Structure 1
Amino acid sequence: MSAFSLITLLSLLPSIISALKCHQVATANLSNPPETQATECIAGSLACTKLVDYTTKTFTKQCQQFNCTVGLLKIFVLWYT
């Protein structure tokens, strides 16, 4: 293994060891949001999301297993097909 390969591998190590942290809320009221601490997501999570339902005045916060851009693209494709 070359020195360059070893340095590259070692530079990726912190991102592999440290997991994504998100505020996770199953369902909460917009007018009375709970105080939460960011917790580690499961391995492979790529984004934190907050979904707001203005009809019921509730929201959720969670870890996403896919990139938000890819997810929105999937929704767009499904919506218009």
Structure 2
Amino acid sequence: MLLREFKHHFALGDIEGAIALRTRHSRGYYLLVMSSKWGVNSFLETGRDLTPRLFKTRRALLNTANAIGLGAHQIEVRDEI
């Protein structure tokens, strides 16, 4: 999903939290957003090719999660996928 779609779902109360997944090769983080209402979890995707968006730093990921409406306490960080 795209950022604007996540903002909409957050406003509806559909989003429960997120997981920051660090890649094996330490290239960065992916943001996986969780919702039991959807039945699936979804990665934040880029607008151009709809691939999972890679964040180079944890701060960049947290800023984006904050833009969705999630606080830092709602994001679980996992070191490797």
Superposition TM-score tier, normalisation by shorter sequence = under 0.3
Q: TM-score, normalised by structure 2?
A: 0.24
Larger radius of gyration, structure 1 or 2?
Answer: 1
- Greater relative contact order (CA < 8 Å, ≥ 6 in sequence): 2
Q: TM-score, normalised by structure 1?
A: 0.24
